[in-house]
Amino acid sequence: LAVIFPECEFLLTDSIAKKITVVNAAAEALELINVKTHAGRVERVTDKFDFIVSRAVAPLDELVNWTKGKFIKQSKNEFTNGWICLKGGDLVEEATVSGRRFEIVPLQKWFKEDFFESKRIIYAV
């Protein structure tokens, strides 16, 4: 995403420092000046964001809990500030439990390979 959207700033966080070391090396090799990293739990991040983008690290309600209060109040984009997550499986129940307004988009809309058959993007506000 940092390559495709050079005008956006990204904070990449992971609780496993070894992963962040690799991310730092990749960002440096690609000369990505729009990437910062944080080695630690997302709950410890004090910055505020337009969007929180995640892979399937936890159920949506847990991700919401971990990132509570981390959004900039004023939306300046086409979409309202919120979560964008790559997940698989049946997400309707998971999204409903989170108590958030959500939209689920199948990745097969863009990718026809079998691997993407069960993968979805969930956008929640």
DSSP for 41-97 reads: -GGG----BSEEEE-SSS-HHHHHHHTTT-B-SS--SSSPSEEEEEEES-HHHHHHH
- The C-alpha atoms of residue 113 and residue 125 are separated, in whole angstroms, by 29
pLDDT by position in tens, the chain (length 125): 999 999 999 999 999 999 999 999 999 999 999 999 999 999 999 999 999 999 878 888 898 899 989 999 999 989 999 999 998 877 888 777 777 888 999 999 899 999 888 899 989 88
Token representation of residue 63: 């991700």
Residue 78 C-alpha from the chain's centroid: 17
Please report the pLDDT score of residue 91 as a whole number: 83
Pick from 124, 121, 6: nearest CA to 55: 121
Residues 6+ apart with CB under 8 A from 82: 51, 52, 71, 100, 123, 124, 125
Q: How many CB atoms lie within 10 A of CB 80?
A: 13
CA dihedral sign of residues 52, 55, 59, 60: positive
Q: Global pTM?
A: 0.84
Please report the pLDDT score of residue 85 as a whole number: 92
Please report the pLDDT score of residue 35 as a whole number: 97
